[in-house]
Amino acid sequence: MVLSIGNTINANDSTLTHVLMKRLAVLQSKKDQVFSKGSFSSYRAYALNKTIEKADENAFFTGLICFTLRNLLNDLNQADKKVASSIIENSLPYFDNFKNRKGRNTYNFWTTNPPKIFPNSGWLNVFDHSQSLPDDFDDTAILLLAINASDSIASEVHLFMQGFANGRGKGIKNTFDAYKNIPAYSTWFGKKMPVDFDVSVLANVLYFVQHYQLNWTSADSASLQLILKVIEDKKYIDAPSNVSPHYNRSSVILYHLSRLMSIQSIAALEIHKAELIEVSKNLLNESSSFMEKIILSTALMRWGTRPPVISISTGNTLLELIDDPNFAFFIANMSSMLPNPLKDLAGSIGVGKFNYYCEAYNLCLVLENEVWQEKIVNH
């Protein structure tokens, strides 16, 4: 027997949404133990030794969950909206642990007071202070959206971002030759860090710019130019790990592009929508990963296309499919900062690559998909 995602618990769509929302609330940490109060647990596994998982407390997944829930609030019934609002509210104090140590309104992947790198890594944590990573554009954009930062803070951070584009101080050394002179944003705020391009990160930054209706700068336009070149050159299909080293998959790049395009129409991107839809359909049909199918399904709905039904056999429950440690939405890719050709070589082997897993975010992605399914039914 085969069940569609909307019927996996023999209930109507709104009931499934409620069950998923309540489960998400249960997964939020209630007290300081391994994971701090208000956070959602996540784990990393080294690509070359996937048998060992390490608890990894970071701002990323909790921020993404709150950001996603804020986007869903207007489409939830009152009971589910109350649960979602409570989850967001409980997370807000947690994000303070990741704010820039000097008080600037930028954020880090790991805690900044005290600074951390790869939590629970034993001897490696001796280098927490000396080798801590700088704040980054991705976490900053996601967390400012998650906390619903004020317009003035968004404008202040956007102004600060302008100093960290390719060519402003240093140039990128590890991308395709055709992209090396594009003055798009780097991933990092740190002056000592190599310039690093990631089109999924850039999609999140431009989403932030669009959400706050900020005036576009030359770096914003250049970042869009890079995204467009990656689409035109089919690099998001042929070389996803190069153009999006921290997300690594074509499906995840498509998910990010659809989210950017859903907030406000960008004419230059709309030209490519038909192609993006077709590629997403093909990938969805070819994929054997339930979670990958979910994000591609959501991308299609954002683009106004009814997706194929995602079916599961009775041999798996929905929660078992959600709790899939093999689905890595995000990858910590230290090799992405190496110059060419070492970047591609190390990346292909898996050196310095850590796959991240967060059950709560997987669940949130399914919840998001279900809400979009309801919107299609109701309209």
Q: Domain holding 133: CATH number?
A: 1.50.10
Count of CA atoms in the C-beta half-sphere (13 A) of 116: 19
Cα separation, 3 vs 256, whole angstroms: 28
> Distance between CA 295 and CA 290 in Å, rounded?
9
Name the one residue in this structure whose structure tokens are 């584009």: 165
User: Residues 343-355: pLDDT tens digits?
Assistant: 565 555 555 678 9
Mean pLDDT of all residues belonging to the chain:
88
**How far is residue 70's CA from residue 336's CA, in Å, rounded to a whole number?**
31
* Average pLDDT over every residue of 244-261: 97
Q: Which residue segment(s) compose the domain that 370 sits in?
A: 2-378
* Residue 131 pLDDT grade (very low, low, confident, very high; cuts 50, 70, 90): very low
Q: Would you say 163 and 106 are in contact if contact means Cβ atoms under 8 Å apart? A: no
Residue 376 has pLDDT above 90, yes or no: no
Confidence class for position 299, pLDDT limits 50, 70, 90? very high
Tokens in use for 367?
């919840």
DSSP 3-state percent helix, strand, coil across the chain (nearest 5): 55, 10, 35
Phi, psi of 94 (to 5 degrees): -60, -35
Q: Which residues pair with 112 in a beta bridge?
A: 115
Spatial separation of the C-alpha atoms in residues 371 and 175, rounded to whole Å: 37
Quote the number of domains for the chain. Answer: 1
Task: Count other C-beta atoms under 10 Å from residue 229's C-beta.
Answer: 17
pLDDT at 46: 81
Instruction: Tell me what percent of the residues of the chain surpass a pLDDT of 70.
Output: 85
Sign, CA torsion 51/56/60/66: positive
CA dihedral 119, 122, 127, 131 (to 10 degrees): -40
Give the residue with greater pLDDT, 315 vs 240. Answer: 240
Long-range residue pairs from 22-30, CB within 8 A, at least 24 positions apart, any chain: 22/83, 23/319, 23/363, 24/65, 24/83, 24/87, 24/360, 24/363, 24/364, 24/367, 25/83, 25/86, 25/87, 27/359, 27/360, 27/363, 28/87, 28/90, 28/91, 28/360
* Six token digits for residue 229: 């070149």
User: Taking residues 74-91, what's their average pLDDT?
Assistant: 97
What is the pLDDT at residue 338?
A: 53
pLDDT at 151: 98
- Strand pairing category for 43-46 and 311-313: unpaired
Here the tokens at position 108 are 């880090």
